[in-house]
Amino acid sequence: MAENTTFKLQIMASDHTVYDGEAVSVSLPTTEGSVGILANHSNIIMAVVPGTLEYVPAGEAAADMGLSGRQSVVVSDGLLKVENGETMILVDTAERPEDIDEARAKRAEEKAREELKRANSNRDHAMVEAELSRALSRIKASKPRHKL
Amino acid sequence: MASTKEIKNRIKSVGDTQKITNAMYLISSTKMRKARRDAEQARPYYQLMRREIRRMFAVGTDLKSRYYDAAVDENVKGGRSAILVITADKGLAGSYNQSVIRETLALTDMSDEYTLYIVGDYGWRFFRSHGSNVDTSFEHSMNQPSLAMARDITEELLERFDRGLFDRIYVCYTEFTGGMTAGTATHDRLLPFDRDDFVPEFDETDKDASTVFEFEPDIETVLERSIRSYLVGYIYSTLVNSYSSEQNARMMAMDAANENASELLASLELEYNHLRQNAITQEITEISSGARSLKRKKGQKR
């Protein structure tokens, strides 16, 4: 039987799964420099550092996701594990290079919006709270008379 | 006795109040659903990360680091503690804020030296006016919790921890208990890790413990980096738990307010009808007695 040329690769960011399927190779930045993993790698656990991760997907999962050829993802700190030929990469954040500017701009926009919303909502809330407490004290003051 | 006009006014104002409480109820329920959905998405990553940390603890039984201690005594005294307190931005959430504040005060009473790191405007205002030792450079509002926010908080706390400003980090938050419950205010120690929290999950048959791994560059480095990432996840989960509890507490408070308003409206309506009935009866009596006396006068003339 021929040696496997692909292996199971799972790349997880804290808020989404980047890839889960077969792959031909993956290379990524670690504390020990750039490391490449092919099929049949020995068991290892390494620390991933921020940089660019590249992988070559294969098989059905890649076809399903419409991926072909070399893919690159910008990753942050994390962990790489190869266990019995299966590779798992856990990273805090992972973004495709073409998404980075957009993602950053979007985050900035979201943040600004959030701030604005928060300021408004806190002001509204303070008003509502004052109104409610006024209403409640009025109700309290008049309550004995309402009991029939 | 109040006039019908007065009661009419009161009915209107109670009705308006009920509209507000009802709207707040709906807003809270939407916010809670969204927070829980986000949390679900982050869960698999942190479960996997936890499993790897557990594995490393099981392999490296003699590891020493400031991030984890083989034997950390639960005695808070005699050390400098940082306490991350998660409160709401706003009130009107039943006893939610008060419970967390009480939990925090119990913890500060026990420690010799502490610094509070407060999330949420409500806690911020309370502890500042209460004269507690609050780190004022730490400002986070309790918005929709996000991973980015958890990451910021973790960075800020770890930076101070790494500088040796304190020996322990605690977090006071509210654990979400689901359903129509207010959640439980509680505290956990974030750092140093208690390795025992991880290790007992192993047993001899667990294949995680028996697979042999090579660590590059070494297990300490990998573990330390993993712990940082894991902390982000942990803080995120306390934020989500607290946020869900806050929204739940507000929903309950608003639900009770709605109910009270309905009761009040019912009794006001009753009183209003009663008064109106009385007024009508009185008018009829006046008219009919007036008519009778007129008739009598006419009769006497003839």
Q: Where are the domains of chain A?
A: 7-95, 98-148
Structure tokens at A89: 């990469």
Which CB contacts under 8 angstroms, 24+ apart, belong to B100-103?
B100/B172, B100/B173, B100/B174, B100/B185, B100/B242, B101/B126, B101/B127, B102/B185, B103/B172, B103/B185, B103/B186, B103/B187
Q: Environment class of residue B44 by beta-carbon count within 10 Å: exposed (0-12), middle (13-18) or buried (19+)?
A: middle
Q: Do B237 and B292 share a domain, yes or no?
A: no
pLDDT at B102: 92
Q: Do B169 and B282 share a domain, yes or no?
A: no
pLDDT at A147: 47
Give me the residues of A, 85-144, that contact B with CB < 8 A.
Answer: 88, 90, 92, 107, 114, 118, 122, 125, 128-129, 131-132, 135, 138-139, 142
pLDDT at B191: 82
Q: A7-95 has which CATH code? A: 2.60.15.10
Structure tokens at B220: 């300490």
Q: Do B101 and B231 share a domain, yes or no?
A: yes
Q: Which residues in chain A are contacts of B41 at CB distance < 8 A?
A: 15-16
**Count of helix runs (H) and strand runs (E) in chain B:** 6, 7
| Tens-digit pLDDT profile for residues A94-146 | 888 877 777 777 777 777 777 777 777 777 777 777 777 777 777 666 655 54
Containing structural domain, residue B14 = 4-20+256-301
Q: Do B276 and B203 share a domain, yes or no?
A: no
Find the residue in A nearest to B27 (Cα). A121
Q: Do B44 and B169 share a domain, yes or no?
A: yes
Reported ipTM: the value is 0.70
Quote the number of domains for chain B.
2
| Contact assessment for residue A4 and residue A85, using Cβ atoms and an 8 Å cutoff | yes
What is the domain-level CATH number for residue B151? 3.40.1380.10
Residue B17 at interface with chain A, using a CB cutoff of 8 Å: yes
| Chunked mean pLDDT (size 10), chain B, 302 residues | 82 90 91 84 84 80 69 60 90 88 89 88 90 85 84 90 87 85 84 71 56 81 84 89 90 91 93 92 93 86 68
Residue B41 at interface with chain A, using a CB cutoff of 8 Å: yes
Single-letter residue type at B41: Q
On the question of pLDDT at A148 being above 50, the answer is no
pLDDT at A143: 59
Q: Do B206 and B269 share a domain, yes or no?
A: no
| Tens-digit pLDDT profile for residues A36-59 | 999 888 899 999 988 899 999 988
On the question of pLDDT at A73 being above 80, the answer is yes
Tokens 């300021």 sit on residue: A119
For residues A52-67, average pLDDT: 83
Q: Do B136 and B221 share a domain, yes or no?
A: yes
The full DSSP string for B149-161 is HHHHHHHHHHHHH
Identify the residue with better confidence: A11 or B214: A11
